[in-house]
Amino acid sequence: MPRTVVVGVSGGIAAYKTAYLVSALKKQGYDVHVLMTKGALHFVSALTFETLSGNAVLTDTFDRKSEFNVEHVALAKKADMIVVAPATADLIAKAAAGLADDMLTTTLLAARCPVVFAPAMNEAMYHDPATQCNLEVLRRRGAYVMDTGEGYLACGDVGAGRMREPDEILEYMHAVWAELYDMHGVRVLVSAGPTREMIDPVRYISNRSSGKMGYAIAEAAVHAGADVTLVSGPVALPPVDKARMVSVVSAADMAREMTALAPEADIIVMAAAVADYTPKSYEPQKIKKGNGGMTLELVRTVDVLQELSKIKRENQLLMGFAAETQNFEENALTKLRSKNLDVIALNDVSREGEGFDADQNNIRLYFRDGRVQDLGSDDKTVLALRIIDEIKNAYRQLCAR
Ligand code: CTP
């Protein structure tokens, strides 16, 4: 999966919209670096992009403050994708001619990753044969050139040449990634969030899971082109676009849905924090308080993963999570073996600000073949991209055997 995205901004009024694009990419977990042309600096300040991306904005190849001044192609090497938005007629002409007179054009020339251009200019300039010819040159060289929208242009004209909206650019980038990273046709089933075990109509037992890790994994799988189903306990998160959403409440619901959907899945990621115990009986009327204490009798729920491992078919990858507060490796490996998993993601939930109900997590993956991959502490969105990368490779190896 791509991690580093370089956003090139050239000098058009649409540059202000690119701020939203950078912010959205950052939220999706990508390491975003912005390169601006001198013209772009007239429209939006470098500080805007520096604040949104968390990285220094580079403009001039010979900027002595830049860490890239010696090896100015470093960013070109690091980039998994470059998106130029807005791409002005001038920038497009330079890119087509292979000119390299600033940081953006130099990076474009040195880059070997996919490049997306989102053109933005006046209609006459867009339709001019020179621009159309330059766009064709870029396309033939493998660049992804977006079309433009029709509408009101900053020069007062109405017509073609409007830069596509940031959301459309994002969608386009994801479509390119999906094509390149090729999880097409791979069916991924993810569970997320807590379960609620009802005591009476107004009370339940649950846990602190926010669902963020599972949702981030489902989203990363969608972006990689997979066909994703997300079975979710009650959470306060928006649905994952383009994933099939299935809502559940209790551990029993989760078990029913997951076992029904599992035969159709190639990869199953059990990220839900399923309750281990549920009240022995449900009181249909609200329980009234008495004067003394109260004892609630609980019984074990179904271990969903255990059930899934019993019906696991050939070439199906089963991944679980191990949320631990001590004896980390030992507990993770015991769960890997006892639940017959291909991979388990260990997370230390004792750390402040990480794990349950947090944006950050720490993950170490243990594979069936003994391999260990430490993904460290990071934002859940970033970890999700890496998890998808790892399990995609593990799934390919499984199928190749
Ligand atoms: N799990 C499950 N069904 C359950 C409980 C857990 O499918 N009833 C899954 C979780 O989704 C997770 C893995 O099992 O992928 C491990 O969950 P965890 O809560 O860490 O461990 P438990 O197996 O419940 O064991 P313990 O609570 O004793 O640590």
| Residue positions annotated with a catalytic role | 155
Question: Tens digits of per-residue pLDDT, 7-32?
Answer: 999 999 999 999 999 999 999 999 99
Do 351 and 273 belong together in one domain? yes
What pLDDT is attached to residue 157? 75
Question: What residues are in contact with ligand 1 under a 6 Å CB criterion?
Answer: 251, 270, 272, 274, 276, 301, 303-305, 320-323, 335
Q: Ligand 1 pocket: which of 231, 269, 274 to mutate (most atoms <8 Å of CB)?
A: 274
Domain limits for position 396: 187-400
Q: What pairing do the DSSP bridges indicate for beta strands 144-145 and 115-119?
A: parallel
Give this prediction's pTM.
Answer: 0.76
Do 327 and 362 belong together in one domain? yes
Cα–Cα distance measured from residue 177 to residue 179, given in angstroms and rounded to the nearest whole number: 5
Sheet holding 4-9, edge to edge: 31-36, 4-9, 81-87, 115-119, 144-145
What the block records as the tokens of 109 is 């020339």
Confidence of residue 261 (pLDDT cuts 50, 70, 90): very high
Confidence of residue 42 (pLDDT cuts 50, 70, 90): very high
Do 200 and 232 belong together in one domain? yes
SS3 48: helix
What pLDDT is attached to residue 72? 62
Q: Ligand 1 pocket: which of 196, 231, 232, 276 to mutate (most atoms <8 Å of CB)?
A: 276
What the block records as the tokens of 18 is 């690119």
Whether 272 contacts 235, CB under 8 Å: no
Confidence of residue 191 (pLDDT cuts 50, 70, 90): very high
Domain boundary, last residue among 159, 180, 201: 180
Burial class (CB in 10 A: 0-12, 13-18, 19+), 80: middle
Do 192 and 282 belong together in one domain? yes
- Ligand 1 center to residue 207 CA distance, Å? 12
What pLDDT is attached to residue 137? 92
Q: Which one-letter amino acid corresponds to residue 357?
A: D
Do 200 and 257 belong together in one domain? yes
- Ligand 1 center to residue 274 CA distance, Å? 6
Average pLDDT over residues 317-344: 96
pLDDT at 154 over 80: no
**Residue 273 CA: which ligand 1 atom is closest?**
11
Strands (E) in 305-371, as ranges, are: 317-324, 343-348, 360-367
Do 207 and 95 belong together in one domain? no
Average pLDDT over residues 137-151: 90
Cα–Cα distance measured from residue 333 to residue 330, given in angstroms and rounded to the nearest whole number: 5
CA distances from 246 to 89, 240, 258, 265, 304 (A): 46, 11, 10, 14, 16
What pLDDT is attached to residue 1? 64
Nearest to 80 by CA among 121, 120, 113, 110: 113
- Ligand 1 center to residue 122 CA distance, Å? 58
Whose Cα sits closest to atom 18 in ligand 1? 322
Do 350 and 372 belong together in one domain? yes
Do 285 and 305 belong together in one domain? yes
Question: Tens digits of per-residue pLDDT, 90-110?
Answer: 999 999 999 999 999 999 999
The label of the residue with tokens 């042309």 reads 37
CATH number at residue 299: 3.40.50.10300
Nearest to 267 by CA among 322, 185, 346, 353: 185
Whose Cα sits closest to atom 24 in ligand 1? 276
CATH number at residue 106: 3.40.50.1950
Number of domains in the chain: 2
Cα–Cα distance measured from residue 267 to residue 309, given in angstroms and rounded to the nearest whole number: 12
Do 260 and 291 belong together in one domain? yes
The mean of the pLDDT values for the chain is 93
Do 94 and 121 belong together in one domain? yes
Do 232 and 345 belong together in one domain? yes
Largest CA distance in the chain: 87
Domain boundary, last residue among 143, 165, 180: 180
Whether 119 contacts 92, CB under 8 Å: yes
pLDDT at 232 over 90: yes
- Ligand 1 center to residue 322 CA distance, Å? 7
Confidence of residue 65 (pLDDT cuts 50, 70, 90): low
pLDDT at 166 over 60: yes
Whose Cα sits closest to atom 28 in ligand 1? 276
**Residue 272 CA: which ligand 1 atom is closest?**
11
What pLDDT is attached to residue 244? 97
What the block records as the tokens of 99 is 């000119």
- Looking at the chain, the whole-number percentage of residues with pLDDT higher than 70 is 97
- Ligand 1 center to residue 355 CA distance, Å? 15
Do 219 and 245 belong together in one domain? yes
Whose Cα sits closest to atom 3 in ligand 1? 303
Domain boundary, last residue among 180, 203, 233: 180
Average pLDDT over residues 241-251: 95
Cα–Cα distance measured from residue 391 to residue 401, given in angstroms and rounded to the nearest whole number: 15
Average pLDDT over residues 69-91: 86
What pLDDT is attached to residue 178? 80
pLDDT at 87 over 70: yes
